[in-house]
Structure 1
């Protein structure tokens, strides 16, 4: 226990001592100016008078003690008694990476995809979100964070970039550093490796693909999901095929939820882009949705939130807790006693 404004106590003592000295000086002056009354002892000797004086003095004593306690408790409360501790708060949340294909075949749909991402972000509470965009190489727009205002700002910047707003072209810088275009498997692999706990100890890269894991030493087991928006139209030779990236997600307990703006009826042909994307997503324990499906957002929210939000310890933090309840309680009681004593003295 400590007093944050400890200096208020000696200041109050000095002020009280000065007030007492001034009051005593005035009292001596008042005594000198009083005139004696003849034969007053006849009145003061009466038993009724003596009893009234004793009662008056008792209530004066009560009022003086209550007033002193009230002042002392008020000063202690004003000095802000507090308790400092170091805590490691337990957090329960899930990690979700929004993974967006920014290739040419997606140009007409990316703004709508970002709107869906924004709706998803508004539906989460406590989860950490990250955003990665890719074409021939992947770029992390922002890492996992639970600052939802920042997430919405970045998604608004992404929507403006895909809408062609002036000055927003730099948003996609770094996504064309590899050979080819729309390398879906590489993009998904980059997103899977974007989780701190799963990226530790692994690194994969080649040329300008931008694929790689940077170990963070994290050991927490968390619920991890990737929301992948792509039409799965590949133009180039990726390092990871879509199936290999999905297998990587399975080994790292990452569920993939696919949003396809180019969803068509492919029939039973398992080699068509939409069918391959559905197979890859469902193979990780995730799901597949056409982008315009009204069930996509609520269903993804429900399935992500149905996973266990694993508890883990956050970094130690210094905590200061005000503990003024005792002096404030004493001040309240003494104030009530003082009010009662003053009422008795006036009656």
Structure 2
């Protein structure tokens, strides 16, 4: 165990030594008779065995009390000196940015609900990485910019999951009678994502992926860029960028895409998405072949983790428990002795 502030400990020892010297000098100093009446028979009383016994107990208790007082002062200064233990540890930092890009059309709701639930556990294990969320239908919306505020990210994942759940649980006939919550949830995932829906259609997959790719910062060259992309790849309109063009944008921006498709995907849509994802160096997962959503997220976590900074650091751990407990015990002992001596 080491001491962080030695000067404080030295000051405490000096004060404790001064207290001992002061008490010793005062104890040895004899008081001279300064006048007044003397008690008759005092010499005879000092010869009594009971008196001598009580006198010895009193001096012993007083000495123990003074020692406890000095040790309490030393313990207090030891706490202020901050004792600690030091050990060398390997400091690992994962320099990675992750964007969840999800197709919020109703045909992908089941996939998204399960994926969102598993991703919360992944967010809990992040160390220095940043996480963002893009949702899209006709138009993409950056719902959560890249951030390392993991509690906020989990709140957003929960909110999106609640929006999808309410959409499937409430019938349109009684939607408005269910109150403000249903209206709020639907507006939250629909506002901005259906812009131009009448003219352009919906489920514009390429636009969603392209938007996620350009939401990464160009300034962070060292950071690994990952997109978790969930969709059924069932395009119902005219996109600005096709899925293949969006994959090219990802490649040019060094973005790796891990795609998760629904079990209802047609063979053509499955093959198209698989080719686009693998072009970026990522991997394609199909909902019905994965075994569980936990396996999908676990696989993405292992494949995309990039350990870029490893160094040995000295970690200091405060060791304040023992000095604090010692001080409490001594203080309690001092109070007990004082009560016994009736000081």
TM-score band, normalised by shorter chain? 0.5 to 0.7
TM-score by length of 1: 0.61
Q: How do 1:31-46 and structure 2 match up within 5 A? A: 38-45=40-47
Residue of structure 1 in register with 2:58 after alignment: 56
**Distance change in 2, residues 1:281/1:247 (3 Å):** same
Separation (CA, whole Å) in 2 of partners of 1:116 and 1:132: 17
Residue of structure 2 in register with 1:143 after alignment: 145
**Structure 1: 5+ residue runs without aligned partners?**
3-34, 84-88, 201-216, 267-271, 314-320
Q: How do 1:99-248 and structure 2 match up within 5 A? A: 99-102=101-104, 106-107=105-106, 109-124=107-122, 125-127=124-126, 128-144=130-146, 145-147=149-151, 148-161=154-167, 166-167=182-183, 168-170=185-187, 171-178=189-196, 180-181=200-201, 182-195=203-216, 199-200=217-218, 217-218=219-220, 221-222=223-224, 224-236=226-238, 238-248=239-249
The number of residue pairs the alignment matches comes to 270
Kept after mapping to 2: 8 A contact 1:81/1:323: no
| Deviations 1:285-335 (CA, angstroms, capped at 9, x unpaired) | 33333334452513322222213354679xxxxxxx988557524514524
Kept after mapping to 2: 8 A contact 1:259/1:290: yes
CA deviation after TM superposition for structure 1 residue 227, in Å: 2.3
**Structure 2: 5+ residue runs without aligned partners?**
6-36, 84-90, 176-181, 311-316
Q: How do 1:278-289 and structure 2 match up within 5 A? A: 278-289=274-285
Kept after mapping to 2: 8 A contact 1:231/1:274: yes
Considering only aligned residues, what root-mean-square deviation do their CA atoms show, in Å? 4.3
Separation (CA, whole Å) in 2 of partners of 1:176 and 1:250: 27
**Distance change in 2, residues 1:275/1:70 (3 Å):** same
**Distance change in 2, residues 1:246/1:64 (3 Å):** same
TM-score by length of 2: 0.61
Kept after mapping to 1: 8 A contact 2:99/2:227: yes
Kept after mapping to 2: 8 A contact 1:134/1:187: yes
**Distance change in 2, residues 1:253/1:55 (3 Å):** same
